[in-house]
């Protein structure tokens, strides 16, 4: 993911491992990597990821 492209709340992202999901929480904690809770699109599961796991933003919240 490029430095200019930052995922925001409710954006839909594709991860480097191919999973896709909706960002439902963003964590900006000083001293830690930026984190996200992601609700996966293909199953009812919520995972926590870091910014470097995101391949691309496939839909942005207007």
pLDDT digits (tens), the chain, 62 positions: 555 568 999 999 999 999 999 999 999 999 999 999 999 999 899 999 999 999 999 999 88
Please check whether residue 6 lies inside any domain of the structure. no
Query: How confident is the model at residue 5, as a pLDDT?
Result: 66
Token pair 């796991």 is at which residue?
53
Instruction: Tell me whether residue 5 is in a domain.
Output: no
Specify if 2 maps to a domain.
no
Q: What are 53's two structure tokens?
A: 């796991």
The answer to the question of residue 52 being in a domain is yes
- Domain with 29, as residue range(s), is 12-59
Q: Is 3 a member of any domain?
A: no
* Alpha carbon distance 31, 41 (integer Å): 30
Q: Which pLDDT belongs to residue 62?
A: 87
**Would 30 be classed as within a structural domain?**
yes
Domains of the chain: total: 1
pTM tops 0.85, yes or no = yes
Does residue 27 belong to any structural domain of this protein?
yes
């Amino acid at each position: 993911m490029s430095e200019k492209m930052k995922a925001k709340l409710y954006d839909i992202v594709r991860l480097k491992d191919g999973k896709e999901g909706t960002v439902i929480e963003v964590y900006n904690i000083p001293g830690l990597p930026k984190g996200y809770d992601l609700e996966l699109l293909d199953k009812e599961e919520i995972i926590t990821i870091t910014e470097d796991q995101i391949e691309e933003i496939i839909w942005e919240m207007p």
